[in-house]
Amino acid sequence: MKFVIFFLILTTLVTLSLAIDVKKCSSSNSPKSVSIKGCEKSPCRVKKGSVLSAEIFFTTRDSTSTLQPKLSVKMFGIRIPLKVPSDQQNACQHLKNSKCPLIANQEVTYSVELPILSSYPSIKTEIEVNLVGDNQKSLMCFKIDGQIYN
């Protein structure tokens, strides 16, 4: 009986993480699942001064010895790059079930925590998350609607 309850809870948690509506990037591999703490549907609402915690599960297309996050937002039709904090710039240090170098078709979970600065504007926007490897080649990319609020 305990196993059945555990299985139902686990299934519910997996379903919640898959319920986040992510959009594909035009020329890259999409994640298998995205789980953002406190977000069950798009747009994800994030409070200024908080920390956004996310796990992204994906399969690599190519081999790479490096992995770097590239973040951007779309405002007024223009894509604007965001500065990734220095402690998050080497995504290889934030892999849960593997380490760099990565091989093609490897399943990877990337875990990230990003501060949402008080100076960010209160706005709804489309956020693009892109993980690039050697030669700045995109290995995984997705877009998600987000909202920053006070």
pTM value? 0.82
Annotated domain spans of the chain: 2-149
- For residue 21, the model assigns a pLDDT of 75
Sequence-ordered list of residues with C-beta below 8 angstroms from that of 126, at least 6 positions apart, any chain: 23, 73, 74, 143, 144, 145, 146
CATH code, residues 2-149: 2.60.40.770
Instruction: Tell me the per-residue pLDDT of 87-104, one tens digit each, with 9 for 90 and over.
Output: 999 999 999 989 999 999
Question: Which tokens hold the place of 57?
Answer: 């599960």
- For residue 17, the model assigns a pLDDT of 45
Instruction: Tell me the per-residue pLDDT of 3-54, one tens digit each, with 9 for 90 and over.
Output: 333 333 333 344 344 448 799 998 779 999 999 999 988 899 999 999 999 9
**pLDDT mean over 48-64:** 95
